[in-house]
C-alpha cells in the first residue's frame, strides 16, 4: 500500500463518500481531533506500561500491578478501536447509527464507579498532573473534551449521531478518573487548586 497519493497537495482531501473538501473543513477538523485523541491514548498506553515496580515491593503486589496494567491497556485499546470507528463515521456525510456506544458509556460509568470507590473522595478541584502517567491521562482528557466540543459544533451545522457526543463526554470523565486512580496507585500526590 502506497502511503502518499499526492491528491492532497493542493489543500483538499476526500471524505469516505468521495466528496472533495478543504482540509480546513470543519468535518475534517472534527475527525482529525478524534484521530489526535486516539494517538494521545496510544502514548498513554505506552507510558502506563512503564509503571514502576519497586525492588522491595512484595511479589503479590507486583503481580497485582501487572494485572492492573494489563487490564488498563486492554481497556485503552478498546477505546482506540471505538475512536477509529467514530472517526470513520465522522469522515462521511452519511449519518450512521453507533447505538453500541450507549453500552460502552454504561461500561465507562461502571469503571468510573469502581475506581472512585477505591480512592479518597474528591472534594476540591485538582490541578492536572501527578506522576507522568497520570499527567498523560489528564492530557488525553483535555483532547477528549476538545473533540467533544468540535463534534457538538459540527452537529449544530449537520446531523451527527448523538451517541458520539455522549461517548466523548463520558470518555473524558473516565480519563479523569483513570488519571486520579493511576496517581493514587502510584502514590503520586494530587495538587489541590486554591483560589488566589
pLDDT in tens, 158-188: 989 999 999 999 999 999 999 999 999 888 9
Q: In the chain, where does DSSP find H-type helix?
A: 26-48, 59-90, 100-117, 132-157, 162-185
Q: Which of 45, 66, 182 is nearest to 118 (CA)?
A: 182
**CA–CA separation, 170 and 102 (whole Å):** 10
- The pLDDT, as a whole number, for residue 142 is 98
Residue numbers of the chain with a pLDDT score lower than 50: 53
3-state class (DSSP) for residue 160: coil
- The pLDDT, as a whole number, for residue 23 is 67
**CA–CA separation, 144 and 140 (whole Å):** 6
Q: Are 34 and 91 in contact (CB under 8 A)?
A: no
CATH superfamily of 21-187: Cobalamin adenosyltransferase-like (1.20.1200.10)
Q: Which of 42, 159, 142, 140 is nearest to 92 (CA)?
A: 159
Instruction: Map out the domains of the chain as residue ranges.
Output: 21-187
Amino acid at each position: 500500500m502506497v502511503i502518499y497519493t499526492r491528491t492532497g497537495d493542493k489543500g483538499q482531501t476526500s471524505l469516505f463518500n468521495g466528496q472533495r473538501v478543504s482540509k480546513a473543513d470543519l468535518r475534517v477538523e472534527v475527525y482529525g481531533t478524534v484521530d489526535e485523541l486516539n494517538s494521545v491514548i496510544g502514548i498513554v498506553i505506552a507510558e502506563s506500561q512503564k509503571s514502576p515496580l519497586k525492588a522491595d515491593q512484595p511479589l503479590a503486589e507486583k503481580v497485582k500491578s501487572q494485572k492492573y496494567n494489563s487490564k488498563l491497556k486492554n481497556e485503552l485499546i478498546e477505546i482506540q478501536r471505538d475512536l477509529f470507528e467514530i472517526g470513520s463515521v465522522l469522515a462521511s456525510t452519511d449519518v450512521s447509527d453507533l447505538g453500541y456506544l450507549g453500552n460502552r458509556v454504561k461500561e465507562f460509568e461502571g469503571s468510573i464507579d469502581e475506581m472512585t470507590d477505591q480512592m479518597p473522595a474528591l472534594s476540591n478541584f485538582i490541578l492536572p498532573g501527578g506522576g507522568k502517567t497520570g499527567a498523560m491521562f489528564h492530557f488525553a482528557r483535555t483532547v477528549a473534551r476538545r473533540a467533544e466540543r468540535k463534534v457538538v459544533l459540527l452537529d449544530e451545522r449537520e446531523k451527527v449521531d448523538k451517541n458520539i457526543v455522549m461517548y466523548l463526554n463520558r470518555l473524558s470523565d473516565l480519563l479523569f478518573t483513570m488519571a486520579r486512580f493511576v496517581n493514587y496507585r502510584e502514590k503520586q500526590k494530587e495538587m489541590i487548586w486554591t483560589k488566589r
